Amino acid sequence: MAAHPHPAPTDPAGDPTTAALIAAHPALSMHAMDGLMLDEVPLAAIARAVGTPTWVISAATLRDRLASLRAALGPDVAIHYAMKANDHLAVLRILAAGGAGADVVSGGELARARAAGIAPGNIVFSGVGKSRAEMALALAEGIGQINVESAEELGRLSAVASAMGRTATVALRVNPDVDADTHAKITTGKAENKFGIAWEDAARLYAHAATLPGLAPVGLAVHIGSQILSMAPYRAAYARVAGLVRELRAGGHAVTHLDCGGGLGISYRGETEASPAAFAGALRSTLGGLDLALSIEPGRWLAGPAGLLLASVIQEKQTAHRRFVILDAAMNDLLRPALYEAWHGIVPVSPIDALAPSSPADVVGPVCESGDSFALGRLLPRLGEGALVALLDAGAYGSVMSSSYNARAFAAQVLVDGAKWAIIRARPPVDTLWEQDICPAWL
């Protein structure tokens, strides 16, 4: 049952209210007795059983979001989930069962995708620097496509493939020099970024690739950045790439595949998320009629809204200047606020807390860095020791970016599936943190 049937959309700070945040997440609801629920599971029950901090992810949300992307794109656009967003085997299995392949950026991700049962033919290998060992692994596994980002990499891949007597199916990732209008640390399609083949070199290198042994160039790839909310940068990039496809074909080259990248943005702070229908429209209007096999590599859009980080309040701290809410989660768990000043919704789990009067607070972790902060001046009720909060939209670039800084053990992970839930990664005992340490005998 919803506690606020008609939520005011924003509070005086311009942030979405608790009620608006809950309303924007179909998997979340505030139950009068059980408090904040993810699908049919009370988050308080998970915290009681597993402790905090704990990542919790909704299987239904992963399935629903993949299905709505698929419905908008139609059956012909291949979806390769960018597993860097959340590479848990259970997440991979859910998305693979819904028909997604994987976009991988390391030998480790490739091995994980295979361990989750994703067929090699549905795997694309992206990334600006692949080692020879990673190339060899990709070729031995027979993965679908390797996206190459430089002349140097073409040469190295050709050498590795030839030595193995294999042919690598290759797409050239081009840099369209388009501003994705997102955070500077996650923009990738500007000429000064390290990613992709410079626009002026693309046609020449495509021709060159066709002459190299062990390589079968089939097309192009482009990825301009992440958390993109407007379709204009996509249209600009795809229109440029369409021009390049025509130019290459006019030069007698076969171009059959185009990997359109990822980057679709989600709503963290009440923004309108990128719509699958609008994205499908951008693809159609710029690339339709070119008879290309299209694929995309979404990460955040599929996994972000599905997950949250459940944390407990250690204590509040009031100084002459500020009110601090100190959580047992920290920047080592969810790094995005510290690294990108990212905004994540913070929702009290108790139904009483959720309705109590609120005042501005800085929400911080216990790590010894001033940057270890989740929110500044956030309107929250008084939160006593042990009060639970959920940090929303943490399903993508959350657990995967964790570290053990300050000798903090990695958080546990839980999957919710309807009314069922299960621990999908146990909280490791703290001594596993120094299990691989070796003290030399002379000490």
Q: How far is the CB of 57 from ligand LLP (least distance, A)?
A: 15
Q: How far is the CB of 106 from ligand LLP (least distance, A)?
A: 12
- In this structure, what token pair is assigned to residue 291? 């008879």
Sorted by sequence, the CB contacts under 8 Å of residue 97 that are 6+ apart come out as none
Choosing from 1, 368, 419, 443, the catalytic residue is: 368
Angle at the Cα of 60 from the Cα atoms of 57 and 66, rounded to 5 degrees = 100
Q: Measured from the CB atom, is 186 or 239 closer to ligand LLP? A: 186
Helix orientation angle between 59-73 and 89-97, rounded to the nearest 10 degrees:
40
Phi, psi of 166 (to 5 degrees): -115, 165
Specify the DSSP element, H or E, that contains 205.
helix 199-211
Q: Measured from the CB atom, is 195 or 410 closer to ligand LLP? A: 195
Q: How far is the CB of 277 from ligand LLP (least distance, A)?
A: 17
- Classify 148 as helix, strand or coil: strand
Interface ranges with ligand LLP (CB under 6 A) = 82, 85, 103, 126, 186, 188, 223, 226-227, 261-264, 297-301, 336, 340, 396-397
Catalytic (active site) residue 260: no
Sorted by sequence, the CB contacts under 8 Å of residue 227 that are 6+ apart come out as 182, 183, 186, 263, 265, 266, 300
Q: How far is the CB of 257 from ligand LLP (least distance, A)?
A: 15
Q: Measured from the CB atom, is 116 or 354 closer to ligand LLP? A: 116
Q: How far is the CB of 84 from ligand LLP (least distance, A)?
A: 6
- In this structure, what token pair is assigned to residue 204? 């020449």
Q: Measured from the CB atom, is 50 or 223 closer to ligand LLP? A: 223
Location of structure tokens 């709503």 = 267
Q: Measured from the CB atom, is 196 or 214 closer to ligand LLP? A: 196
- In this structure, what token pair is assigned to residue 275? 């719509």
Q: Catalytic residue positions?
A: 368
